[in-house]
Structure 1
Amino acid sequence: MLTVYIVLLYGFPSSLSIAVLGSFGRPQFLWGLVLLAWWLLARLQPVQSTRSVSQPVRVALGILLIACLLSFAQAMLRGQPVDQISPAVSAVARMLSWSGVVLVAMDGIRSMGDLMSLVRRLALAGTLVAVIGLLQFITKQPIVDVLSAIPGFTANTGGIDSRGGFVRPAGTATHPLEYATAIAVALPLSIACAIIGEGGRKRARWWIPVITVTLASFLAVSRSAVIGLMIAVVAVIPGLPARFRPGVLGIVTIAFGAAMVAVPGLYGTIVGMFLGVGEDSSALSRTAALDLLPIFVASSPLFGAGIGTFLPRYYIFDNQWAQMAAEIGIIGVLSFAGLLAAAVWSAWRASRRSELEDLQVAGRCLCACVVTVGVLFALFDGLAFPISAGTAFLIVGLCAAARTVGMSDDWVSTAGMAADVDRELPPTETVPVSARVSVNRRG
């Protein structure tokens, strides 16, 4: 079910929508609601005799949903222009759809094998988006516009922009910044897959996605893509086994050199983007937005103007944190920050408690993904774009799943020791190490 969500999220243009449903017709949005309904039905079933795992992410998600609903109720009671009611309802529905993704990932993934399957598929999806972006950069063609001809669907698949004489690819995303988020998140996940491998084998081929995503980040001709890559690398390096750190840094360095040599003028363009940030219109707009933010928040500082009601006609912040402050207020911003913090804590704690190196690596790489998303959301309104928003909530769910696997690992180990105490083993009876590892891997 989650794999279908990944395919719908990454495999089709993010603006693709069922024509008759309008803003409610995006396939990944509808599938998220299916996941939520499935989770609710599962919760109504008789409780099985399984050990429950406390989840900080569940509590943080509940607080965020309550904050959004209170913001929505306050806005509706205050009265809204007719054209703001539908966007508000749509925003609440999107939040419910993303919640379905988090809840199914959190409660449905219960083994290390399932967790790594989802990590591999998400890393592969991000890599394929990066490949499409590289093809767009080379051919200067959108490529994905052929998908807009699917009967019954409509899409705005321009897909590419330009800067400094270079094409800014977007893959299947609506905007290059959404594309930058997708490939930045794919980097730590690809590194985790390369280190862990598949069944202890086939590690070498997973370094190809690492190289591909790194090249795509530099060839995206975007400050956000480069910043996302750097944040991902800085966040993931401390959590990797020491023997892999030089290799990761070497790949990033070699990929940067190869991109600069292969594309004349790219180095000057990238350096100019950062040195000229003080005169860049987009950077100045973001700075001005922060200056105006207190004015927009002053009328309703706690719950904001109302979720989904702060339309572009009022102002475009290009900063998701500022956008949330205006829409759902200080409580909403703190709730979303708490959700990301709970995700980081869950995955990091699982990696610290587990004796499995696989879970240690996967948990810390998932932490790096959350940190990367949190930083990039300060550079654009990420929740307004399907791929960046869906990826963020899916990563949060995977962090919670890592906690489930890690806590189950501890429980199995403890139960096993208790069983050994309760019964006497013959002098020759032993439990093979491989058997214990196999049990722990399955949680």
Structure 2
Amino acid sequence: MSATVARGLDATVTQPRRADGATMVCLFVLTLLVLPARLAVAGLPLSLTPAEIVALTLALVWLCAQMISSSGVAKGSNPVRTSIFVYGMVLLAVYGYTTHVYLPSDELNLTDHALVLYVGYIGLLLMTCDGITDRARLDFVLKAVVIGGAFAAVVALMQFRLDFDLTAYMKVPGLRHSSVEEVPTVIARSDLRRVAGTLGHPIEFGALSAMLLPIAAHLGFQARSRGQAAGRWWICAALIAAGLMFSVSRTAVLGLAGAGLILLIGWSNRRRVVTIAAFAVFLGFMKVLAPGLIGTFYNLFAGASDDSSIRFRTHDWPFAMREFDRSPFFGHGLGTWYPFKHQVFDNQYLLSLVETGLLGTLAFVGLLVCAIVVALRVRYLSTDANVRNLALTIAACLVIPLLGAATFDMLSFPGITSVMFLLVGAAGALLRFERRDQAARRLLSSFQDPADRSRSLMALTGNGQGSARSGSS
């Protein structure tokens, strides 16, 4: 019965498609990861990048699609959608409370800007959760994410090995350099260069590479299981892994270790052995490509007790708690705590406690935990090996922001924040697909006549709009 459903679903995805939610999300992904993070749209009163403009467009399209019944965008209950609505309402409450009291003009402008950015993030999440019609289209989006990450890694390779910054020459008419251009994309650490690729900072690039590496590996394993060409995805995985190394970031290693632990627990013994062997070969290759890089990473952890950057991350906790006590529930204001005026917190949890209070911090953590639980729920429910592995991969990738938030102010970097919201939406989409498939199996099991069963299958999966509507029930 499930094989019949799977064949019917596979038959539908081979039909020609018009542009849909997945197409728009892919446009956002490529705009985010291919264009340098420093480029903003000229002539706007707010500093917005092209990717942020696309994200705001996604929010508007999703809102309009909810008002009609023939849009193909899913409706109905979904834990991920509920969690993002709670998070959005908390942010609105924080914004209303903090702007009701006095804020200096610079901080008021910053909180307005931050609210606009979060509208875009929420729109990206909702379009990913509701606007992608089936797993094939979700794979399409994830492939775009991996390709974009591989491109950023190639740029990082040139920055690291050739000391050539391609982003300095990537100038687009109508775009200007944003205010973050004072932060260099190449930073010295020991005798090596820390690079950021097309992202805004090496730490952000490293953490993002750690999030994308498991997805690239999943695409490789999935292609092999389907008898398709898998080499391109392994090349992308190798490039992204190299980019992670070139970031020379403890955050990236800690995040990848947390995600890897979850994957190794959930994977089969054969996949564990293959992954560990590939990891050993990769380290040997990096030893030849970049002498001294492995030793630098070792010293980052071996000398952690004497590292000035770690001491800097811990000495400001008492100061953060004093600021938190001034407004423990709603905070100082979303996006108002900026480094040129206030004490820098290289810890997103501390920064969230100060900016959005206890409510905002709990809502942020709750959003990620909800998405992880939803992904693991899909893994439990599904009987498809590739779906189970994708659900496990998404859960593992979302552990990285939970860990990375303790080591840098993650939500201040739009690249990794955007991919985090996208993966949360992907968890919600996976749950919707699984619910739809279970409903299809229950319906088909009630028909004895194969012709009736075939007609019912076509009614359920004959077009993307019907799939989206049935998946929201």
Q: Which runs of 5+ in 1 are unaligned?
A: none
Which deviates more from structure 2 when the two are superposed, residues 288-297 or residues 79-88?
A: 288-297
What corresponds to 1:227 in structure 2? 254
Contact 2:75–2:130 under 8 Å retained in 1: no
Instruction: Tell me what 1:381 maps to.
Output: 409
User: Normalising by the residue count of structure 1, what TM-score does the alignment of the two structures yield?
Assistant: 0.91
1:104/1:151 Cα in 2 relative to 1: closer, same or farther (>3 Å)? closer
Distance 1:82 1:109 in 2: 40
Paired position in structure 2 for 1:289: 316
Aligned-residue RMSD, C-alpha: 2.5
Offset, 1:176: 0.3
- Provide the residue aligned with 2:17 in structure 1: none
Assess if the C-alpha contact under 8 Å between 2:30 and 2:144 holds in 1. Answer: no
In structure 2, the residue matched to 1:76 is 99
Alignment partner for residue 289 of structure 2, among 245, 253, 262?
262
1:13 to 32, 36, 41: 36
Q: Distance in 1 between matches of 2:320 and 2:98?
A: 19
**Matches for 1:63-142 after TM superposition, within 5 Å:** 63-142=86-165
Whether the aligned pair in 2 keeps the contact of 1:223 and 1:273 (CA below 8 Å) is: yes
**Does residue 396 in structure 1 map to residue 419 in structure 2?**
no
Query: Given residue 210 of structure 2, which amino acid in structure 1 is its aligned partner?
Result: A
Asked if structure 2 preserves the Cα contact closer than 8 Å seen for 1:187 and 1:214, the reply is yes
Q: Residue 353 of structure 2 is aligned with which of 318, 325, 330? A: 325
Asked if 1:346 corresponds to 2:374, the answer is: yes
The correspondence of residues 182-201 of structure 1 with structure 2, limited to 5 A, is 182-197=208-223, 200-201=227-228
- 8 Å CA contact 2:66–2:75 kept in 1: the answer is no
Per the alignment, residue 389 of structure 2 pairs with 361
Contact 2:28-2:55 at 8 Å conserved across structures: yes
Is the CA contact (8 Å cut-off) linking 1:350 and 1:406 kept in structure 2? yes
Provide, for residues 388-437 of structure 1, a one-character-per-residue CA deviation record: whole Å limited to 9, x for no partner. Answer: 111111111111111111111111111111223xx5x69xx998xxx9xx
| Deviant stretches of 4+, over 4 Å | 47-53
Deviates more, 1:11-20 or 1:170-179: 11-20
Q: 2:441 aligns with which of 405, 413, 426?
A: 413
Moved more, 262-271 or 163-172: 262-271
Q: Which runs of 5+ in 2 are unaligned?
A: 1-23
Residue 346 of structure 1: SS of its match in structure 2? helix
Q: Choose 329-338 or 189-198, whichever is displaced more.
A: 189-198
Number of aligned residues = 433
CA distance in 1, matches of 2:232, 2:197: 22
Structure 1 residues 165, 401: CA separation in 2 closer, same or farther (over 3 Å shift)? Answer: same
- Structure 1 residues 49 and 272, CA gap change in structure 2 (3 angstroms): closer
For residue 41 of structure 1, what is the aligned residue in structure 2? 64
Aligned equivalents of 2:72, 2:161: Cα separation in 1:
56
| Separation in 2, partners of 1:303, 1:84 | 15
Residue 316, structure 1, aligned to residue 354, structure 2: no
Distance between the aligned counterparts of 1:310 and 1:289, measured in 2?
14
Aligned to 1:237: 264
Distance in 1, Cα, partners of 2:300 & 2:97: 42
Q: 1:273 to 1:49 in 2, by over 3 A?
A: closer
Deviation (angstroms), 1:49:
10
Change (3 A) 1:132 1:228: farther
Give the secondary structure class of the aligned counterpart of 1:174. coil
